Chains A and B, each alone.
Chain A
Amino acid sequence: MVSRVDWRIILRQPAGAVSATVIAILLLLAIFGPVLVPGNPDHISGDFLQPPFGHFGLGTDNLGRSVGLELFYGLRISLLVGLLAAASATLLGAGVGAIAGYFGKSVDGVVMRISESFQVLPTFILAALIVALIGAGLDRVIAVIALLAWPQTARLMRAQVLRVKQLEFVDAARCMGVGEWRIMLGEVIPNAFAPILATATLTIGDAILIEAGLSFLGLSDPTVVSWGRMLSTGQRYLFESPWLSIFPGLAIFATVLVFTVLGDVLNKVLNPRSA
């Protein structure tokens, strides 16, 4: 029974080691960013649309803001949204999936049908609609992403719980007179949780992409720097200043990629049947 993740197995694989290292570096950069590179990404200079690799690092945008600085501070936002949204989606999904799997019957049927619907529907359109209605604060964007990203975790958790709840130690706990909820929370969920980590890692990448998409459509907090908003600016200057699009896109791609690769490695190790 793999109830704890053996990180050595993951770090021994080149893909796992590289992606985990890059993620650690990105996290450190995000946390200590303002100390390492002090500056205000919203600072407006007189030099508009300056090309990169000259005096201006990665160039400047239409308001004369430094693209490099914006990218650096955008990382904090992307990671914040990605981690918080994925954590909330995982908690929600794991809870719903565990209840569905453990108590079964009609609860299970209803929950699984609803989660199926969420997986099939154009959820990004729904997310954009909800954010347009309730306003584009970071907290709201995180909540909306979490509300739409839980089904995958729920389905996996349900399958895991269905398997674990038939094992002997669960029967043993029941014979000792432990209540059903305590068995679920204390025995079943901890032993079913490991593969969820893989899905959670993939969800971080998804969440970063959804956030970027929402801010690309203009549905982001205008007071925060975000890579999606930079791409939305870049869209207006594709012809004269393509670097306004190239760099933020590369940043999104690279960040999501390391989480996808790590999630993929975790999936192969923790969830051998699906690979």
Chain B
Amino acid sequence: MAALILLAVVTILNFIITHILPGDPVTALVGQFPAPPAYVALVRHDYGLDQPLYVQLWLYLGNLLHGNLGYSFGSQRPVLPLILQHAQATLLLMVPALTVASIVGVWLGGAAARRVGSWYDNVLSAISIGSYSTPIFWLAQVLIIVFAINWHVLPAQGMYTVGSDYTGFDTVSDYLLHLALPGSALAFFNIALVARVARASMYEALHQDYTQLALAKGLRPAYVFWRHVLPNALIPIVTIIGFNFGSALTGAVLTETVFGWPGIGSLFVASIVKRDYPVLEGIFLLTSFAVLLVNLITDLTYGFIDPRVARTYQGRS
């Protein structure tokens, strides 16, 4: 239900942006030079822009359902394939970064939960607050200055070495070398976020009666952690990862800009420079759908993590 409302909000927002805000596509298509009014009217008619707004909404929804997001002003190519083509690189940046961030974040947060108030806990909180205040694109630049320019240990730009003819394992290691800096920049923010939530939820689980009982029974602490603490602390952690996917995407867009990573972010910035509105709108629409999908998946994982959630749903239907 929440997903349906989100879908409606996204579609309506995008319709408002494309059809009601200024930035008339006709001006962009016809160009700056004076065109005969008859020609402008013809273009408007061709694009259905002379129709009443509700007819335009209907046409727009029809186009969406056919996967027709319009054509790029710049390259005259259909927008959807253009964006999907760049999505692969973005996923190659985001998926490893978020996976590593989730694991490291849970680990750091769990360690802090066991010694709340210690210097370790305080340092982690300070870093977490600091990460909220750091512009990701600046951290990315600093990483380039330190690791690529001063120390020459990692490449500064792109996703692979230009002009290389690597095959097999060499391709993978080349990609991993290029991933190191942008991946770390993106991971840093998500580690801080996950660690903060993991600390709180594991602290709570650690102080539940069942955990205390398990420890009192003499079970090994490691076993108690995996069997009792982590599963019970996992739902808030999964929630924050899913909830935060939209900002992670934003982070990826900005990181790509700095590193010249050939993904959706680079396409977005190039399209801002060219004022290529259909591509920009398509990117917002598709990233929103991705967020929607991730939130749906997050909701579904609750059932796996906590069987009680699955049972409530079955009880309802």
Q: Is the A/B pair a real complex?
A: yes
Among the listed B13, B283, B295, which residue makes an inter-chain contact with A120, where contact means beta carbons less than 8 Å apart?
A: B295
* Docked complex: B263-282 residues within 8 A CB-CB of A: 268-269, 272-273, 275, 277, 280-281
Which residues on A sit within 8 Å (CB–CB) of B23? 132-134
- Return B197 CB to nearest CB of chain A, in Å: 13
Cα A209 to Cα B250 in complex, Å, equals 12
Chain A 203-217 residues near chain B, CB threshold 8 A? 205, 209, 212-213, 216-217
B145 pairs with A245, CB closer than 8 A: yes
A129: contacting residue among B130, B137, B284, CB under 8 A? B284
15 A-B residue pairs with CB within 8 Å: A113-B9, A118-B9, A122-B250, A122-B253, A122-B291, A125-B287, A130-B21, A209-B135, A228-B135, A238-B149, A242-B145, A242-B149, A253-B130, A257-B133, A261-B129
Q: Among A113, A209, A238, A246, which residue has its beta carbon within 8 angstroms of that of B5?
A: A113
Chain A residue with the shortest CB-CB distance to B269: A217
1/0 contact string of B1-32 vs chain A (CB within 8 Å): 01001100110010001000111000000000
Chain A: CB-nearest residue to B134: A253
In the assembled complex, A74 has its CB within 8 A of some CB on chain B: no
**Is there contact, CB below 8 Å, between A132 and B247?**
no
Whether the Cβ atoms of A132 and B249 lie closer than 8 Å is no
Q: Identify which of residues 106-161 in chain A touch chain B, using a CB-to-CB cut-off of 8 Å.
A: 113-114, 116-126, 128-130, 132-134
A-B contacts at CB below 8 angstroms, number? 142
Interface size on A, residues (CB 8 A): 46
Decide if the interface of chain B is mainly helix, strand, loop or mixed.
helix
CA distance A246 to B5 in the complex (A): 43
Contacts of B272 in A (CB 8 A): 128, 132, 217-219
Given contacts A128-B272, A242-B145, contact A120 B291 (CB under 8 A): yes
**A53 in contact (CB, < 8 A):** no
Q: Which of A238-255 contact B (CB under 8 A)?
A: 238-239, 242, 245-246, 248-249, 252-253
The answer to the question of B96 belonging to the interface, with a C-beta cut-off of 8 Å to chain A, is: no
How many whole Å from A101's CB to the nearest CB in chain B? Answer: 19
A231 in the interface (beta carbon within 8 A): yes
Q: Would you list which residues of chain A between 77 and 122 have a CB under 8 Å from chain B?
A: 113-114, 116-122
